[in-house]
Structure 1
Amino acid sequence: MVDIFYRPIVGVVMCSNPVKGQQSHTLQDKYLNAVLDAGGLPIALPHALAEPELLAGVMPLLDGVLLPGSPSNMQPHHYGENGDEPAADPGRDLLSIALIAQALERRIPIFAICRGLQELVVATGGTLYRRLCDHPQFLEHREDPDLPIDQQYAPSHEIKIQPDGLISQLIPGSKTFWVNSLHGQGAKTLGPRLRVEAYSQDGLPEAVSVLDHPYALGVQWHPEWKSSEYALSRLLLEGFITACQQHHAEKQQL
């Protein structure tokens, strides 16, 4: 039986950034607050957990996994391309790929946001557009850094929800939404385990899910931004936390 009052433990991947000359793990408050507001208990995950023995010790404690956005991009060798990535975070790449593999194997709910969607795509055999702005068929998906932060995160373009997917089950009858857009890369090809949940008006996949999984969803926009103020954001996060509660209840029965 699912305990709707239980706060599921959600592991949130951290980023690596220099702070006052020292390499540090960082995690923006908006991701932690979004999990808390939806009823979860966020736990920050450092990159050292990519070590198999350490990760194996952590996974049984988690009821869900959140892969947040980041200014960094995945290193291209993870999806079969050559060259360097100037804004790289190799430790996060390794942890996220290992974490996704373990979460899928254990059927732990996943919610992947922006860079997180790209990690989910790559970890399941897909590829990325390294620079969407080099492809004229796409809209400008990057934010304008000169605008105030509230305007950067304001709804920017429309997405079309695909029928018979996870999002359409969570929000029956809704076919289109406006979402924000703050990314320079995007999903190019998907592996066989993923389905497209939503497209942008230019044809770019804006949301994906893992087939035959209780809740493994990636979105290219940022629902964590003022999540309680937008119906779509609130419903996606609440759906994720409900799936985490269900996973915890199933673990208790084993």
Structure 2
Amino acid sequence: MRPIVFVPACTRDFGEHPYHAAQHKYVDAIVLGADCAPLILPSLGASLDLETMLDLCDGIMLTGSASNVHPSYYSEEVLDPSLPQDPARDQTTLPLIRAAVERGIPIIAICRGFQEMNVALGGSLHQAVQTVPGKFDHRENPELGMDEQYGDAHKVALVEGGMLHGILGTPEIPVNSLHGQGVNELAANLVVEATAEDGLVEAFTVGNSPGFTLAVQWHPEWRIIHNPHSMKMFGAFGNACRAYQQAKQAARHATIRDAL
């Protein structure tokens, strides 16, 4: 059986009704890149039974989203009230991240998910990177078509000897760029894996985690089968999910044997 990877949902209103939703491209990346079985996790906040859910999963994918992590989680006020928020997702993913890291459950995080991980573990964000002296404007041009919006925008330099460098085997890669927020203060236990040309952190891992963790600011899920770097990243994540699944099954079998 393939490992189960949770994809925490965003909350969206379609017509008169609220929905738990996840974009196809993220779900597809779990299947095509990681060879795992995706399962969309509803954003229930405090109503979510974390222990039950975490016992079921073998990995977690934190997706990008139009919404931003609420800045109250890093002691700031909202800079631009016109930008969307998703409090139910915040209330779900932030405790989920901390619990999953502690358990060693493999995590891959993208864009908003990258920002969620930094905030969940004690870091802060620039709410408008384009206004920070010395930083580029990392936002996409909404007037362009999707292929152009998700096209290569700049290069990131991989930290030599880091986990991502080991996975990809190259000193730099071109990436797309579709974000207005970014890392300000990196959480103390995070390890930088890649930076943009303006010095903005573009990838990190959790240094003290017993399991696989990889968070990236760009969107590797976009047309994943046409991007060898993205396939390698998701392949490494999938391998980690399989190893976690096997270890979990072995522990359960040992518990059953001991009880007989």
State TM-score, norm by structure 1: 0.94
Match of residue 247, structure 2, among 229, 233, 250? 250
Q: Give the alignment of 1:12-91 within 5 angstroms.
A: 12-38=7-33, 39-48=35-44, 50-51=46-47, 54-83=49-78, 85=81, 86-91=83-88
1:85-143 deviation per Cα after TM superposition (whole angstroms, max 9, x unaligned): 54100000011101101101110000000000000000111000000111241112100
* Change in CA separation of 1:83 and 1:148 when aligned onto 2, cut-off 3 Å: closer
Name the SS for the 1:206 alignment partner.
strand
Gaps of 5+ in 2: 252-260
Tell me how large the CA RMSD over aligned residues is: 1.2
Report what 1:127 is aligned to.
Answer: 124
In the alignment of these two chains, the number of paired residues is 247
Match of residue 137, structure 2, among 137, 140, 155? 140
Name the SS for the 2:183 alignment partner.
strand
Instruction: Return the offset for 1:49.
Output: 5.7
Name the SS for the 1:47 alignment partner.
coil
Is 1:212 aligned to 2:208, yes or no?
Answer: yes
Report what 1:237 is aligned to.
Answer: 234
| Equivalent residues of 1:67, 1:111 under 8 A apart | yes
Match of residue 147, structure 2, among 126, 147, 150? 150
Instruction: Return the offset for 1:149.
Output: 0.5
Could you say which structure has the larger radius of gyration? 2
Instruction: Return the offset for 1:191.
Output: 1.6
Name the SS for the 2:178 alignment partner.
coil
- Aligned amino acid, residue 16 of structure 1: T
| Equivalent residues of 2:68, 2:86 under 8 A apart | yes
In 1, distance between residues paired with 2:188 and 2:151? Answer: 33
* Greater than 3 Å deviation, 4+ residue runs: 83-86
Q: Give the alignment of 1:106-185 within 5 angstroms.
A: 106-172=103-169, 174-185=170-181
- Aligned amino acid, residue 62 of structure 2: L
State TM-score, norm by structure 2: 0.92
In 2, distance between residues paired with 1:240 and 1:59? Answer: 17
Name the SS for the 2:249 alignment partner.
helix
Gaps of 5+ in 1: 1-5
Name the SS for the 1:70 alignment partner.
coil
Report what 1:192 is aligned to.
Answer: 188
1:130-165 deviation per Cα after TM superposition (whole angstroms, max 9, x unaligned): 001112411121001110101100010000000222
Q: Give the alignment of 1:97-108 within 5 angstroms.
A: 97-108=94-105
| Equivalent residues of 1:50, 1:98 under 8 A apart | no
